[in-house]
């Protein structure tokens, strides 16, 4: 991408030329040898482009090979190799030995018999991919569990810090390595944070434990500048890596204009040094020794990294969101002639492909989230269609975690969602393997499966793009990573890439509206006929009625004034219709109850709430409970609310209490929540507000202990993750109930460690609202997680359900609610056949109502999905049927 073939030829011949010169120069004066020999070497070496060692492809043993590792033969695999633009699929075997892929496809029997001690794993056609590569991670810098002593991500010492190195802060005890490996992630780039324009040098590491137990031993191809490592100086230099950032995160150092100047003045320093070096070397090469008398090779310890950037030896990862910022960096790259390898977050990159193509040295890769958008102003125009649009413009697409922003264990889910929203299958798989490896200059050994590549391999239980795909085993450098994996069998149906809906029209509209297409329903009507319906699920009190139609005939459902009046197989229902109906073809789709969701904040940020439990409520607001009603802060028609509605969420419960990004709740008092319909236009519309005062929300953690026990009739939702605090709360609940002789309706939200007290929680009749649905040990008080397959037999949800606890799932940030239905499908898949579909559906419907006491309030909305059921990637929500509002919204 960076080097033209011509440049490679020139530089390579320069290198060979050097070897010749050292043989043929006349024997010089001894004094000249010490001065000129090293200088000639040094000057010639400046021209050698970075890359793998010259003899890399002949290697027979990996530099990372662990002595004593047995060879492994994986038999009968469906291998995604990464070759041919990600389209090559090989049916056959893989032999891993000496830390390398030794053979692939049809393996000659004599090679196998010549590999003593080989362990054979027959995978019966299971999918096998390279280990996943996370281009953007803060693993080891923001460690799990997070403690203030392990928060090594941003320096406060200025905007320009190219001399800092993430490796100097990588915590080797982060719980996230093991969890990421359990998700198939085998390596990642550890980037400094984005609080500085140049945050420092980054390093690619492998996530497995090493015998040496050091960060150094985890680094892949450490550059010679790192020191203390053996590097063969006669080989091309290894790629170096660096983090840059622009935009909002640099506010503390001034405006965007200040950051741009900070960049330009830093690169100008580096340019001066580079020019001085080139000038010096021109004289060395010309043998003009007299002009060099008394001079030494010009260099700077501070600026050497940026000089290497200007020499094309650094892969830069640049955090940059908006068009203005992307344009700035592209101008910078042309002004100083260096390449940026990848833009990260890049919420508007998809809207400005021509800017990307103007990058000096060719377009960068773009590393993004699938659906994590609108979390700040800069990310407002981020889109689920960005991966597909970028690919349409031939821009390499990378999906990344920004771990722990997204738990890197679920990196593959980002690629799955990108695929769901239109990124081609081959590119979706490449987006978490070969494309990031290429962006990091490491595709010669990771992110691909070919003879001679590193033996980083994942065996999957299903097609990797299928929802809930889980590794059955993971190898890093040929070393087996999961001691006793527990993964169920998924069967044939899951072995193909999921069929996904057509989003072409939505994608075009998204571009046409510069990322902000209208999200309001297209049509609001009274009467609809749904054709080609496969199944209909309706609510009856706390349970579901399920009607499934023959695949051949399908069914017809007639809706009048927001109510189903007829549903039958074939077209029987049509005979009873009279008048005007809108016709919606569900193409084998379904109708399901609308989902309900709890979120931690009303769709707006309204500052830090006052906390009556800490006594800081201003006297003018002294009616404390009244002052903190979410209903008063609620905004309708926000993009997050409308996207949730378009994704099947018809009831939201939201409270004011906000969370800090990595540290849990920011106060004890979360105020009074409101339940509402996210599809309503405003608070005065019929059915817009379901219950004005739904529950009282509190957060209790070691940082925010509970001082006073609130009393009242209203359901109490306590945000708590530690099992020890849950125990205290359960005891308190018992005391209050004994004293007043009443039953308290109490739920634990967040509840990461609930499994430890499952029996007691069940006995106390406390509901559990899991946020997030799959646990992560973010902070110390929630470090004891039950990780789920392949690390534990049961998932957290299933463990709680087995104790007959009422379990709901929720989200911490509003953008995530659109993924609720996939979370349900995933929960059912993780339960390995132990969870029925109605149990899964209850997690985001009846169980949430139970916790919030909403059972009697509702005439629940229904959602129609085209192409499949609510639970999977095959379908797309197309209409909401609302009995309470007497209408159908056609989306
Ligand atoms: C790579 O695959 C994508 C999607 O299938 C396709 O659009 C693109 O043209 C391919 N690129 C090359 C170089 O073949
Ligand atoms: C590979 O596995 C499939 C599924 O178990 C089986 O039908 C097939 O015979 C196997 N092929 C070989 C070559 O072992
Ligand atoms: C360095 O690499 C060269 C060329 O591949 C090789 O001949 C030499 O033995 C290597 N030196 C060391 C110390 O490994
Ligand atoms: C959960 O409820 C079922 C059905 O009522 C019962 O059979 C089972 O024993 C209960 N499980 C526990 C752990 O209480």
Q: What is the pLDDT of residues 70-81, one digit of tens each?
A: 999 999 999 999
- Ligand 1, from 365, 427, 435: best to mutate by most atoms within 8 Å of Cβ? 427
* Percent of the residues in the chain that have a pLDDT greater than 70, as a whole number: 90
- Please tell me the number of the ligand nearest to residue 74's CA: 2
**Tens-digit pLDDT profile for residues 258-288:** 999 999 999 999 999 999 999 999 999 999 9
pLDDT of residue 269: 98
| Confidence at residue 814, expressed as pLDDT on a 0 to 100 scale | 80
Ligand 1 atom closest to 425 (CA): 5
The model's pLDDT over 635-669, given as tens digits with 9 standing for 90+, comes to 888 898 899 999 999 999 988 765 444 445 556 77
Q: What is the rounded average pLDDT of the residues 108-118? A: 95
Does ligand 2 come within 6 angstroms of the Cβ of 76? Answer: yes
What domains are there in the chain, each with its CATH number?
132-495 (3.20.20.140), 521-594+860-891 (2.30.40), 595-859 (3.20.20.140)
- Residue 76 CA: which ligand 2 atom is closest? 1
Residue 151: which pLDDT band, with cuts at 50, 70 and 90?
Answer: confident
Q: How far is CA 534 from CA 24, 470, 594, 630, in A?
A: 82, 28, 17, 39
Q: Closest residue (by CA) to atom 12 of ligand 3?
A: 232
pLDDT at 706: 55
Q: Which ligand sits closest to the CA of 800?
A: 4
Residue keyed to tokens 């005007």:
580
Residue with tokens 């659109």: 818
Of all protein residues, the one whose alpha carbon is nearest to atom 9 of ligand 2 is 124
**CB of 505 closer than 6 angstroms to any ligand 2 atom:** no
pLDDT of residue 36: 63
Closest C-alpha residue for ligand 4 atom 1: 804
Contacts of 417 (CB under 8 A, 6+ apart): 370, 371, 384, 819, 822
Q: Mean pLDDT throughout 853-862?
A: 78
Residue closest by Cα to atom 13 of ligand 3: 232
Could you tell me the pLDDT band of residue 761, with boundaries at 50, 70 and 90? very high
**Any ligand 4 atom below 6 A from CB of 526:** no
Distance CA 426, CA 429 (A): 5
**290 pLDDT exceeds 50?**
yes
CB of 19 sitting under 6 A from ligand 3: no
784 Cβ closer than 6 Å to some ligand 4 atom = no
pLDDT digits (tens, 9 = 90+) for 79-88: 999 999 999 9
- Euclidean distance between the first and final Cα of the chain, in Å? 42
In this prediction, residue 856 has a pLDDT band, given cuts at 50, 70 and 90, of low
Residue 124 CA, ligand 2 centroid: distance in Å: 5
Instruction: Find out whether the beta carbon of 428 lies less than 6 Å from any atom of ligand 1.
Output: no
Strands 89-97 and 100-105: antiparallel
Residues 6+ apart with CB under 8 A from 529: 556, 557, 558, 559, 573, 574, 577, 581, 582, 583, 584
Instruction: Write 659-663 long-range contacts (CB < 8 A, 24+).
Output: 659/600, 659/601, 659/812, 661/405, 662/142, 662/146, 662/404, 662/778, 662/779, 663/146, 663/703, 663/779
State the average pLDDT over residues 670-689: 88
| Ligand 2 center from residue 88 Cα (angstroms) | 20
Instruction: Report, as an integer, the average pLDDT of 543-572.
Output: 93
In this predicted structure, the answer to whether residue 207 has a pLDDT above a threshold of 80 is: yes
Q: Which residues contact 541 (CB under 8 A, 6 or more apart)?
A: 855
Q: Is 125 in the pocket of ligand 2 (CB under 6 A)?
A: yes
Q: Which atom of ligand 2 is nearest to the CA of 124?
A: 2
Is residue 799 exposed (0-12), middle (13-18) or buried (19+ Cβ within 10 Å)? buried
Q: How far is the CA of 241 from the centre of ligand 1 (A)?
A: 27
- Residue 70: the pLDDT is 97
850 C-alpha to center of ligand 4: Å? 18
What does the alpha-carbon distance between residue 498 and residue 826 come to, in Å, rounded to a whole number?
14
- Name the residue with higher pLDDT: 112 or 606: 112
Identify which ligand lies nearest to the alpha carbon of 84. Answer: 1
Average per-residue pLDDT in the chain?
A: 89
User: Which atom of ligand 1 is nearest the CA belonging to 85?
Assistant: 1
> Looking at 412-421, 455-464, 534-543, which range is the least confident one?
534-543
- Report the C-alpha gap between 720 and 732 in whole angstroms: 14
Residue 472 has pLDDT above 70, yes or no: yes
Look-up of token digits 């709680």: 800
How confident is the model at residue 37, as a pLDDT? 67
Q: Which residues pair with 319 in a beta bridge?
A: 245, 344
804 lines ligand 4 (CB under 6 A): yes
Write out the two tokens for 709: 């026990």
Residue 712 pLDDT > 60, yes or no? no
> What confidence tier does 247 reach under pLDDT thresholds 50, 70, 90?
very high
User: What is the Å distance from ligand 1's center to 252 Cα?
Assistant: 42
Mutating to test ligand 2, I would choose from 75, 76, 122 the residue with most ligand atoms within 8 A of its C-beta, which is 76
Assess whether pLDDT exceeds 60 at residue 449. yes
Ligand nearest to the CA of 390: 1
Q: How far is the CA of 44 from the centre of ligand 3 (A)?
A: 18
CB of 803 within 6 A of ligand 4: the answer is yes
407 within 8 A of 179, measured Cβ to Cβ: yes
Is the minimum distance from the CB of 124 to ligand 2 under 6 angstroms? yes
Residue that is written with structure tokens 């650094």 in the block: 314
Q: Which of 234, 235, 236, 238 to mutate to test the pocket of ligand 3 (most atoms within 8 A of CB)?
A: 234
CA of 234 to the centre of ligand 3 (A): 7
Q: How many CB atoms lie within 10 A of CB 754?
A: 28
Atom of ligand 3 nearest to the CA of 233: 1
For the segment 831-847, what is each residue's pLDDT rounded down to a tens digit? 989 999 999 999 999 99
Tell me the ligand closest to 231's alpha carbon.
Answer: 3
What is the pTM assigned to this prediction? Answer: 0.93
Q: What is the mean pLDDT of residues 530-541?
A: 93
Inform me whether the pLDDT recorded for 137 exceeds 50.
yes
């Amino acid at each position: 991408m960076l080097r033209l073939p011509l440049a490679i030829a020139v530089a390579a011949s320069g290198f060979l030329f050097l070897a010749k010169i050292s043989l043929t120069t006349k024997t010089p004066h001894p004094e000249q040898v010490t001065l000129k020999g090293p200088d000639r070497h040094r000057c010639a070496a400046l021209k050698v482009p970075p890359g793998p060692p010259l003899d890399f492809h002949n290697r027979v043993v990996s530099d990372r090979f662990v002595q004593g590792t047995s060879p492994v033969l994986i038999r009968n695999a469906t291998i995604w190799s990464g070759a041919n633009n990600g389209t090559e699929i090989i049916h056959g075997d893989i032999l891993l030995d000496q830390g390398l892929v030794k053979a692939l496809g049809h393996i000659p029997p004599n090679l196998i018999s010549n590999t003593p001690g080989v362990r054979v794993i027959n995978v019966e056609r299971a999918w096998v991919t390279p280990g996943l590569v996370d281009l953007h991670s803060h693993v080891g810098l923001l460690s799990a569990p997070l403690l203030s002593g392990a928060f090594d991500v941003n320096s406060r010492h200025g905007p320009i810090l190219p001399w800092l190195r993430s490796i100097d802060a990588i915590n080797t005890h982060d719980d996230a390595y093991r969890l990421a490996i359990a998700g198939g992630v085998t390596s990642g780039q550890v980037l400094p944070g984005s609080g500085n324009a140049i945050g420092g040098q980054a390093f690619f590491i492998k996530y497995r434990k090493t015998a040496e137990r050091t960060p150094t031993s985890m680094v892949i191809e450490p550059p010679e500048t790192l020191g203390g490592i053996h590097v063969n100086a006669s080989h091309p230099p290894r790629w170096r890596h660096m983090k840059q950032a622009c935009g909002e995160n640099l506010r503390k150092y001034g405006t965007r204009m200040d950051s741009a100047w900070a960049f330009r003045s830093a690169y100008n320093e580096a340019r001066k040094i580079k020019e001085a070096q080139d000038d010096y070397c021109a004289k060395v090469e010309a043998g003009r020794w007299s002009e060099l008398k008394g001079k030494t090779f010009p260099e700077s310890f501070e600026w050497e990294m940026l000089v290497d950037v200007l020499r094309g030896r650094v892969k830069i990862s640049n955090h940059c969101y908006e068009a203005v910022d992307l344009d700035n960096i592209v101008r910078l790259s042309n002004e100083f002639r260096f390449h940026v390898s990848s833009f990260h977050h890049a919420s508007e990159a998809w809207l400005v492909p021509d800017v990307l193509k103007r990058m000096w040295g060719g377009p960068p890769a773009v590393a993004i989230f699938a659906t994590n958008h609108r979390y700040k102003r800069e990310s407002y125009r981020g889109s689920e269609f960005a991966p597909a649009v970028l690919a349409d413009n031939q821009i390499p697409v990378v999906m990344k975690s920004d771990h722990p922003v997204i738990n890197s264990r679920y990196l593959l889910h980002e690629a799955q969602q990108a695929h769901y929203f239109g990124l081609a299958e081959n590119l979706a798989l490449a987006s978490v393997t070969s494309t990031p490896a290429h962006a990091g200059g490491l595709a010669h050994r990771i992110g691909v499966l070919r003879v001679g590549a590193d033996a980083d391999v994942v065996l999957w239980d299903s097609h990797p793009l299928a929802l809930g795909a889980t590794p059955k085993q993971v190898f890093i450098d040929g070393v087996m990573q999961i001691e006793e994996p527990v993964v169920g069998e998924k069967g044939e149906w899951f072995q193909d890439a999921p069929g996904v809906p057509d989003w072409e029209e939505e994608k075009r509209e998204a571009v046409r509206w510069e990322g902000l297409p209208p999200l309001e329903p297209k049509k609001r009507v009274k009467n609809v006929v749904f054709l080609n319906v496969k199944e209909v699920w309706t609510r009856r009190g706390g349970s579901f009625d399920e009607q499934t139609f023959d695949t051949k005939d399908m069914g017809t459902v007639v809706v009048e004034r927001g109510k189903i009046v007829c549903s039958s197989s074939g077209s029987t229902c049509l005979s009873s219709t009279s008048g005007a109906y809108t016709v919606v073809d569900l193409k084998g789709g379904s109708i399901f109850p609308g989902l309900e969701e709890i979120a931690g904040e009303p769709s707006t940020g309204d500052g830090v709430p006052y906390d009556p439990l800490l006594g800081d409520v201003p006297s003018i607001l002294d009616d404390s409970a009244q002052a903190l009603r979410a209903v008063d802060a609620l905004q309708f028609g926000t993009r997050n609310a409308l996207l949730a509605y378009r994704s099947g969420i018809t009831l939201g419960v939201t409270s004011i209490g906000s969370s800090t990004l990595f540290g849990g709740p920011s106060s004890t008092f979360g105020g009074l929540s409101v339940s509402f319909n996210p599809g309503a236009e405003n608070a005065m519309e019929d059915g817009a507000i379901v219950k004005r005062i739904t529950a009282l929300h509190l957060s209790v953690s070691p940082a925010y202990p509970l001082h006073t026990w609130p009393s009242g009739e209203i359901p109490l939702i306590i945000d708590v993750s530690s099992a020890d605090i849950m125990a205290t709360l359960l005891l308190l609940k018992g005391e209050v109930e004994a004293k007043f002789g009443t039953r308290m309706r109490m739920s634990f939200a967040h509840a990461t460690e609930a499994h430890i007290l499952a029996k007691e929680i069940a006995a106390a009749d406390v509901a559990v609202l899991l946020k997030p649905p799959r646990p992560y040990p973010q902070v110390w008080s929630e470090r004891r997680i039950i990780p789920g397959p392949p690390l534990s037999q049961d998932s957290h949800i299933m463990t709680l359900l087995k104790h007959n606890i009422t379990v709901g799932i929720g989200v911490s940030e509003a953008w995530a609610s659109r993924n609720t239905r996939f979370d349900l499908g995933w929960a059912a898949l993780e339960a390995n056949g132990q969870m029925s579909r109605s149990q899964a559906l209850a997690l985001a419907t009846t169980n949430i109502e139970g916790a919030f006491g909403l059972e009697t309030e509702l005439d629940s909305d229904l959602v129609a999905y085209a192409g499949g059921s609510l639970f999977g990637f095959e379908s797309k929500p197309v209409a909401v049927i609302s009995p309470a509002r007497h209408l159908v919204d056609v989306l």
